[in-house]
A and B are shown apart, each in its own frame.
Chain A
């Protein structure tokens, strides 16, 4: 069974750093891209970017370029999303999703990681 398991909810203060994880199982991790999607409270879905686990090449949405870093460790079948300095506007649910190809739909999703940033 294909599964994407995300790390648990986080409560942080503004200015703190954070790295959340997404572990893939039940499939060949390196053969599929991983995308990250943000959902702010009560809002829609925003595609943040995606990574190719084979060579760690990343494509970012211009909206998120420079604000987050997407990385991967294929030895542990895990993709990461990180911030160096959080702000209150980063409060959201973050989902990872598997992509079948360079230009394809998200066929499996993680359960989501809730990030709350408040002083």
Chain B
């Protein structure tokens, strides 16, 4: 199985500041047939189901604020919140969909400093 490892486990950021979450996979998620990285990011607010933010590692889902961005390729990926807002307090998960079983990172909890 592909192992997904996120860092850090938690971080506290001041309102308006940048938050950066890393995700590393145990094998490359780049499919050479289409040059796409099979990696998604989800946001889970307290008491809510997860919500898709980004797919193909860097494609923002419709309606997701542009302060959220995804980057990276191969085995190393990053989710950046450029200017943290109060409503961004949540746990963020990466997930690969390169093969089955799909696996998630352990999650990164983002709080306000």
- Which residues of A line the B interface, CB within 8 A? 35, 37, 44-47, 49-50, 59-63, 95, 97, 103-112
Q: Mark B91-113, 1 if CB is under 8 A from A, else 0.
A: 00101011111111111000000
Which secondary structure dominates chain B's binding surface?
Answer: loop
Nearest neighbor of B41 in chain A, beta-carbon distance: A105
Are A47 and B49 also in contact (CB < 8 A) when A103-B97, A106-B40 are? Answer: no
Contacts of B66 in A (CB 8 A): none
Are A109 and B49 also in contact (CB < 8 A) when A44-B104, A103-B99 are? Answer: yes
- Kindly state the separation between the CA atoms of A59 and B51 in the bound complex, as whole angstroms: 23
- Kindly state the separation between the CA atoms of A37 and B3 in the bound complex, as whole angstroms: 17
> Is the beta-carbon distance between A47 and B61 smaller than 8 angstroms?
no
Contacts of B51 in A (CB 8 A): 109
Interface residues of B in 40-55 (CB under 8 A from A): 40, 42, 44, 49-52, 55
- Which residues of B line the A interface, CB within 8 A? 1, 38, 40, 42, 44, 49-52, 55, 61, 93, 95, 97-107
CB distance from A32 to the nearest CB of B (A): 14
CB distance from B72 to the nearest CB of A (A): 16
**Which of A49, A50, A104, A106 makes the CB contact (< 8 A) with B50?**
A106
Contacts of A111 in B (CB 8 A): 49
CB distance from B68 to the nearest CB of A (A): 15
> Is the beta-carbon distance between B50 and A95 smaller than 8 angstroms?
yes
